[in-house]
C-alpha cells in the first residue's frame, strides 16, 4: 500500500519511468522535465487506492455496467461541491470525457455540421469534429492583461445555420478561466436562440483556486441548460486518467439510450477498477482535494512570480486547473517550445491549442521539481 501521509503526499512521488507514462516517456533519456500533458506526478489518495485494492481482491473482472453506487456518488459530490443535484438516472459512464465529446459529435450532428468552441482550447476540441466529418468553428477569446473573456461579436458572427453544438470547456483549459453566471446565461440565450445544444466539459470543475465557485452550465435556470449535456470525471482531480472512467450527464432519455450505440462498437465499456476509483474519489476524496488545491495555488503563484521576472513573457492568472498558459510572443522568439526544450523544459506547445507563441505549464508536480522547471524557463528565454 503506497498510502502517503498527508504531509508528504505531494512531495514523495514514485518514479514513473518505465511505466508507460505518456508524460514521462516523451523525452525519455533526455534531461527535459515534462510539464506538459495534464496528469499529476502524485499518487492518488489512500481512500481511492484502498477501493481499487478491494475491487482487485474481489477477483472477478467480467463485463461491468455502471455499478449502483456510481451515479449516486457523483450526484452527492456535485451537490456538496457545486450545489447541483442532477437526476441520477441521467448519468451514464463513459471511458473518457474525450470519448464523450466524440460521441456527442456523432450523436447530435450530421456530416458537415459545425461545432463551435472558444479558442485557445484543449486540442481534441479542435481535432475531433474533423475526425467525425464535422467542422470546428473557432471563436477566439479576447485577451487582456487581466483576463480571457468572451468576444460576443465574434461569437455572433461565427454561427451559421450549420452550427449545431457548442463545446464549452468550463473551467477552461488552457487559460484557467472560470465562466461566471452572467456569461453562462448570455451563452445560454445565444445557443437557445440559434437552436444550438451546449456540451459542457467540466472535467476541471473540482479544481477551482482561491475559493472560487464553479457554476455547472446545466444547473442554470434556463431552457438551454435543461437540454445541455455535461461531461465530467474524477480523473484530473484525483489523478485517475489511466483508469478510464468518466460520466456523461444527459437529461434527454432518448439521447442517453443512443449514446453508447453511437460509438459504433469502437467505444468499450468503462473498466471495473475505474468505477471503483471514481466512486471512492467522489465519496471520500474531498479532504485530499482541498489539500491539493492549497498546493496548486502556491504553485500557480510561483509560476506567476517567475513569469513576471522574464522580459517578454505574460500570463493571466488562472482561476482554476493546475495549468498556466504563458504568452511568449513578447520575447521575439518564434518557437518558444523549442527554446524550452533546449533549456531542459517540456511544456505543451501553444500551436496544438490553436495559439502559436504560447506554452502551457503543468504545475502538478513536487515543488522542488517545479522550482527547477522555473529555473529552466528562465534559462530558455535568457539564452535565446
Ligand X SMILES: Cc1ncc(COP(=O)(O)O)c(C=O)c1O
**What's the closest the beta carbon of residue 233 comes to ligand X, in angstroms?**
5
Per CB under 6 A, the list member of 150, 207, 215, 233 interacting with ligand X is 233
Nearest Cα to 164, choosing from 215, 106, 223? 106
How far apart CA 106 and CA 262 sit, in angstroms, is: 7
Q: Site mask, ligand X, residues 257-296, x = CB under 6 A?
A: ----------------------------------------
Nearer to ligand X, 173 or 331 (CB): 173
Angle subtended at Cα 168 by Cα 359 and Cα 157, rounded to the nearest 5 degrees: 95
Q: How many other CB atoms are found less than 10 A from the CB of residue 263?
A: 16
Nearer to ligand X, 118 or 122 (CB): 122
Q: Which residues contact 278 (CB under 8 A, 6 or more apart)?
A: 70, 73, 74, 233, 234, 240, 243, 245, 247
**What's the closest the beta carbon of residue 342 comes to ligand X, in angstroms?**
26
Residue nearest to ligand X (CB): 96
Per CB under 6 A, the list member of 96, 120, 216, 347 interacting with ligand X is 96
**Does the footprint of ligand X cover residue 235 (CB under 6 A)?**
yes
**Does the footprint of ligand X cover residue 97 (CB under 6 A)?**
yes
Backbone angles phi, psi at 71, to 5 degrees: -65, -45
**Does the footprint of ligand X cover residue 141 (CB under 6 A)?**
no
Judged by CB under 6 A, the stretch of 43-51, 96-104, 263-271, 349-357 that binds ligand X is 96-104
21-80 positions binding ligand X, by CB under 6 A: 38
| Cell matching residue 191 | 445557443
**Does the footprint of ligand X cover residue 187 (CB under 6 A)?**
no
Q: How many other CB atoms are found less than 10 A from the CB of residue 374?
A: 22
Judged by CB under 6 A, the stretch of 94-102, 189-197, 209-217, 334-342 that binds ligand X is 94-102
Judged on CB neighbours under 10 Å (0-12, 13-18, 19+), 35 is buried
3-state class (DSSP) for residue 346: strand
**Does the footprint of ligand X cover residue 241 (CB under 6 A)?**
yes
For ligand X, the binding residues (CB under 6 A) are 38, 96-98, 122, 169, 173, 201, 203, 233, 235, 241, 246
Amino acid at each position: 500500500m503506497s498510502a502517503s501521509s498527508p504531509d508528504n503526499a505531494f512531495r514523495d512521488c514514485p518514479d514513473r519511468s518505465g511505466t508507460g507514462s505518456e508524460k514521462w516517456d516523451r523525452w525519455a533519456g533526455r534531461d527535459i522535465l515534462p510539464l506538459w500533458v495534464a496528469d499529476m506526478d502524485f499518487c492518488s489518495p489512500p481512500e481511492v487506492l484502498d477501493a481499487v485494492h478491494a475491487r482487485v481482491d474481489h477477483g472477478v473482472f467480467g463485463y461491468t455496467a455502471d455499478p449502483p453506487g456510481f451515479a449516486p456518488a457523483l450526484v452527492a459530490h456535485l451537490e456538496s461541491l457545486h450545489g447541483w443535484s442532477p437526476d441520477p438516472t441521467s448519468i451514464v459512464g463513459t471511458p473518457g470525457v474525450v470519448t464523450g465529446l466524440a460521441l456527442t459529435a456523432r450523436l447530435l450532428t450530421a456530416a458537415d455540421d459545425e461545432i463551435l468552441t472558444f479558442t485557445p482550447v484543449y486540442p481534441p476540441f479542435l481535432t475531433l469534429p474533423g475526425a467525425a466529418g464535422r467542422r470546428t468553428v473557432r471563436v477566439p477569446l479576447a485577451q487582456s492583461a487581466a483576463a480571457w473573456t468572451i468576444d460576443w461579436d465574434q461569437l455572433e458572427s461565427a454561427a451559421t445555420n450549420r452550427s449545431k453544438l457548442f463545446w464549452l470547456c468550463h473551467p477552461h483549459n488552457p487559460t484557467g478561466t472560470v465562466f461566471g453566471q452572467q456569461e453562462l446565461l448570455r451563452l445560454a440565450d445565444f445557443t437557445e436562440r440559434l437552436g444550438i445544444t451546449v456540451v459542457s466539459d467540466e472535467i476541471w470543475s473540482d479544481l477551482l483556486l482561491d475559493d472560487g465557485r464553479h457554476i455547472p452550465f446545466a444547473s442554470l435556470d434556463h431552457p438551454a441548460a435543461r437540454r445541455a449535456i455535461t461531461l465530467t470525471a474524477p480523473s484530473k482531480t484525483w489523478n485517475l486518467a489511466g483508469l478510464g472512467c468518466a460520466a456523461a450527464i444527459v437529461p434527454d432519455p432518448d439521447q442517453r439510450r443512443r449514446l453508447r450505440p453511437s460509438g459504433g462498437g469502437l467505444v468499450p465499456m468503462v473498466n471495473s477498477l475505474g468505477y471503483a476509483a471514481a466512486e471512492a474519489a467522489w465519496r471520500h476524496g474531498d479532504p485530499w482535494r482541498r489539500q491539493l488545491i492549497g498546493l496548486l495555488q502556491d504553485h500557480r503563484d510561483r509560476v506567476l512570480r517567475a513569469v513576471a521576472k522574464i522580459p517578454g513573457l505574460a500570463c493571466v492568472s488562472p482561476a482554476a486547473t493546475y495549468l498556466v498558459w504563458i504568452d511568449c510572443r513578447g520575447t521575439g522568439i518564434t518557437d518558444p517550445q523549442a527554446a524550452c526544450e533546449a533549456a531542459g523544459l517540456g511544456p505543451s506547445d501553444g500551436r496544438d491549442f490553436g495559439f502559436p507563441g504560447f506554452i502551457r505549464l503543468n504545475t502538478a508536480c513536487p515543488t522542488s521539481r517545479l522550482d527547477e522547471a522555473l529555473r529552466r524557463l528562465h534559462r530558455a528565454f535568457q539564452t535565446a
